[in-house]
């Protein structure tokens, strides 16, 4: 038995080591083809110990989802929380998101590509993870609406609409990022901000677009 397997490691540390190994294997093999034997070998422990710590292959996958979703939300909160305007908070949050995807590609494969196709328990965990991200973006937009100086501000429920549009755009762009690996997170953030911020700024200033000759009118 190797020194790694003989060494006593605190349970929380060991669990993180198992999750680290599992993410690599799940990302490489896919959930169904991933083997607990390979995960155990990569983590430097026995297969029974994986089950002892995380109960089942499904339980291990859910643990991966929870940890990586938590890291993503924390990165978004930390970045957006330091800025002093909606524009800067949005830019910082998007940059944190795209940086996470770039620096944790294996985690994103697990979170974004595989999970929604699996069991009901895993699908429910994905829904919860997505809700946590959506709540962060919705709160950010809601604060921006509250801070708007427009005489007629957008309704508060518009924040939910905007958040879904932004999260949907960011999700889709992760596929585009894979085909354009030379694009930096900062550059992708800039391009998306140029697409969405001008319109958001105008709406917050009380302008709306309407069909017809008037094109864009104030309310």
User: Within 10 A of 159 (CB to CB), how many other CB atoms are there?
Assistant: 20
Largest CA distance in the chain: 78
Q: At what angle do helices 11-29 and 47-54 cross, to 10 degrees?
A: 110
- State how far the Cα of 155 lies from the Cα of 162, in Å rounded to an integer: 11
pTM of the model: 0.81
Task: Please name each of the domains of the chain with its CATH number.
Answer: 1-54 (1.10.10.60), 65-205 (1.10.357.10)
pLDDT tens sequence for the chain (219 residues): 444 445 678 888 999 999 999 999 999 998 999 999 999 999 999 999 999 999 999 999 999 999 999 999 999 989 988 778 888 988 999 999 999 999 999 888 887 777 777 888 998 988 888 888 899 888 888 887 777 655 455 566 778 888 899 889 999 999 999 899 999 999 999 999 998 888 877 777 777 777 864 544 444
């Amino acid at each position: 038995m190797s020194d790694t397997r003989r060494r006593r490691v605190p349970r929380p540390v060991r669990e993180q080591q198992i999750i680290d190994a599992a993410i690599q294997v799940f990302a490489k093999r896919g959930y169904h083809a991933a083997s607990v034997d390979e995960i155990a070998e990569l983590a430097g422990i026995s297969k029974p110990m994986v089950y002892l710590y995380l109960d089942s292959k499904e339980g291990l996958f859910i643990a991966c989802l929870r940890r990586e979703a938590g890291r993503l939300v924390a990165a978004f909160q930390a970045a957006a929380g330091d800025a002093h305007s909606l524009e800067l908070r949005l830019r910082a949050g998007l940059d944190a998101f795209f940086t996470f995807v770039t620096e944790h590609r294996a985690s994103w494969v697990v979170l974004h590509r595989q999970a929604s196709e699996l069991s009901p328990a895993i699908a429910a965990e994905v829904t919860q993870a997505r809700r946590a991200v959506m709540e962060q973006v919705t709160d950010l937009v809601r604060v921006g609406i509250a801070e708007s100086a427009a005489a007629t501000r957008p309704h508060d429920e518009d924040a939910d609409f905007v958040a879904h549009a932004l999260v949907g755009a960011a999700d889709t762009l992760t596929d585009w990022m894979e085909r354009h690996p030379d694009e930096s997170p900062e550059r992708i953030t800039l391009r998306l901000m140029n697409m969405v911020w001008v319109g958001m700024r105008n709406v917050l200033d009380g302008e709306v677009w309407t069909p017809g000759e008037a094109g864009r009118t104030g309310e």
